[in-house]
């Protein structure tokens, strides 16, 4: 995969998170232009946090995001930024999304690479649209 370690003044780290979150009420809204725009917005939001997207995939009503983060960021901070920025932009650009009280649920899944290699998670995320 060729991931680099983050080098800071006093630390070296390699922290990978796998996030999954869903559309409010499991509505199948991640299609067409909404899906394309979301896939553009997620890397922008992640870059603002100085993190790096390894893989991202959507499937009708949920999103998989695998990224490398700095150790100063907690998972909830990453999700708050990504879900907030994408929801705001998508609802502004696509008025039909305003019929929901919010685009995303407050819930999300977060896992670390742990005993599974980063390559395995990346393949899993990339194959989600196929299933």
121 within a domain of the structure (yes/no): yes
**What global pTM score does this model have?**
0.83
28 within a domain of the structure (yes/no): yes
Q: How many domains is the chain built from?
A: 1
> What's the DSSP call for residue 23?
B
1 within a domain of the structure (yes/no): no
Identify the domain containing residue 27 by its residue range: 6-126
Question: Of 3-7, 44-48, 92-96, 103-107, which range is least confident?
Answer: 3-7
CATH code, domain with 66: 3.30.70.1290
Q: Which two tokens stand for residue 76?
A: 């909830």
Alpha carbons 90 and 7: distance in angstroms, whole number: 34
Alpha carbons 65 and 58: distance in angstroms, whole number: 9
131 within a domain of the structure (yes/no): no
pLDDT in tens, 94-117: 999 999 899 999 999 999 875 466
């Amino acid at each position: 995969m060729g991931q680099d370690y983050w080098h800071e003044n006093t630390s070296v780290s390699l922290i990978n998170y796998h996030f999954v979150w869903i559309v409010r009420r499991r509505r199948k809204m991640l299609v067409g232009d909404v899906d394309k725009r979301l896939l553009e917005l997620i890397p922008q939001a992640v870059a603002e946090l100085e993190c790096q997207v390894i893989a991202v995939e959507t499937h009708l009503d949920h999103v998989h995001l695998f990224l490398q983060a700095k150790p100063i960021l907690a998972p909830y901070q990453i999700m708050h930024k990504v879900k907030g920025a994408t929801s705001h932009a998508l609802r502004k650009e696509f008025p039909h999304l305003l019929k929901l009280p919010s685009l995303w649920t407050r819930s999300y899944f977060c896992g670390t690479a742990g005993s599974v290699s980063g390559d395995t998670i990346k393949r899993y995320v990339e194959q989600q649209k196929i299933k």
